[in-house]
């Protein structure tokens, strides 16, 4: 891991904010290190991981077995995921942060840290994620209508023939391409900004800009990391979402350690010396 100068276009923090960190150059060894540390953190505190990931498992099961066919209920439940996601991530980051500095994993303090975030910048990040989710949902429906709107009405829950036509296959390809692009942009905006907002006093816009710059500076490595997250999550969802009880906490803890490798804070070096 070597040092990379901070981009000149970064937003400047206010006088009371923490100094802007330096963006570091990552390699694949940093990903392996982050995953190893994430696994170790989960093993040290599996209960916290079960609580934060349990919401996703329960929500996934409800979406799959209860809310099917009820559009309004499904939408409300689906919106709950991006709203809850930043706070669940903060909880996992806080656990890793405490392990890192050898502080006790006190239940009240960990959940207290999550609760205090409601008055800081994390809710704004959650709002951005929800808006992004709604935009993608609208765009996905528009793409479907453009390619499949003229097709005969078909019950897709019992018949998949419409998707096997040239128009259907093209629609699937476009949906996957657009979804992957938009998903990676959201990933770039949040992968480092969420732990940064927990770690330091910084506004969400500055944090998201810096996160995007750090991903841009390490594009190859971060593409691998995004693909790794996607594969692990999909595989973990196969056994009735239960694999997420392990996968999500490990990935959350690993994200904290990758953040610590990606951004070097001058004041941390001062404290260490």
pLDDT digits (tens, 9 = 90+) for 104-157: 998 998 998 888 888 888 888 888 888 888 888 888 888 888 877 666 555 555
Note the pLDDT of residue 141.
Answer: 81
**CA-CA distances (angstroms) from residue 124 to 130, 157, 189, 203, 255?**
10, 37, 13, 9, 20
Kindly report the pTM of this predicted structure: 0.80
Q: What is the pLDDT of residues 70-117, one digit of tens each?
A: 555 555 555 556 666 788 889 999 999 999 999 999 899 899 888 888
Of 197-201, 208-212, 263-267, give the range with the top mean pLDDT: 208-212
CB 34 within 8 A of CB 254: yes
CB 34 within 8 A of CB 258: yes
pLDDT range class, residue 13, cuts 50, 70, 90: very low
CB 261 within 8 A of CB 23: no
Which structure tokens are listed for 37?
Answer: 């540390």
Which structure tokens are listed for 56?
Answer: 């996703």
CB 56 within 8 A of CB 238: no
Strands (E), the chain: 2-3, 22-25, 263-264
The H or E element containing residue 30 is: helix 28-44
Q: Which residues contact 135 (CB under 8 A, 6 or more apart)?
A: none
Note the pLDDT of residue 237.
Answer: 83
pLDDT range class, residue 36, cuts 50, 70, 90: very high
For residue 9, give the DSSP letter.
T
User: What is the distance in angstroms between the CA of the first residue and the CA of the last residue of the chain?
Assistant: 20
Q: What is the pLDDT of residues 151-197, one digit of tens each?
A: 655 555 556 676 777 777 888 889 889 888 988 999 999 999 999 99
For residue 164, give the DSSP letter.
G
């Amino acid at each position: 891991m070597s040092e990379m100068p901070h981009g000149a276009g970064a937003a400047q923090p206010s006088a009371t904010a923490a100094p802007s960190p330096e963006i570091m150059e990552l390699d694949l060894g940093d990903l392996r290190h982050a995953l190893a540390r994430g696994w170790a953190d989960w093993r040290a505190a599996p209960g916290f991981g079960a609580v934060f990931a349990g919401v996703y498992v329960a929500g996934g099961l409800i979406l799959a077995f209860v809310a099917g066919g009820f559009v309004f209920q499904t939408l409300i439940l689906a919106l709950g995921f991006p709203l809850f996601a930043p706070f669940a991530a903060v909880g996992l980051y806080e656990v890793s942060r405490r392990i890192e500095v050898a502080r006790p994993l006190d239940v009240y303090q960990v959940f207290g840290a999550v609760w205090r975030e409601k008055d800081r910048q994390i809710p704004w990040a959650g709002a951005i994620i929800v808006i992004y989710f709604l935009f993608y949902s609208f765009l996905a429906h528009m793409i479907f209508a453009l390619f499949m709107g003229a097709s005969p009405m078909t019950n897709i829950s019992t018949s998949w023939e419409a998707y096997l036509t040239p128009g259907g296959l093209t629609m699937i390809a476009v949906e996957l391409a657009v979804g992957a692009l938009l998903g990676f942009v959201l990933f770039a905006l949040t992968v480092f900004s969420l732990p940064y907002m927990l770690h330091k006093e910084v506004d969400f816009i500055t944090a998201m800009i810096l996160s995007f710059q750090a991903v841009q500076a390490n594009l190859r490595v971060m593409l691998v990391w995004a693909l790794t997250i996607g594969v692990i999550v999909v595989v973990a969802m196969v056994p009735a979402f239960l694999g997420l009880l392990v996968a999500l906490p490990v990935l959350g803890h690993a994200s904290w350690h990758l953040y610590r490798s990606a951004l070097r804070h001058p004041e941390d070096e001062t404290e260490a010396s």
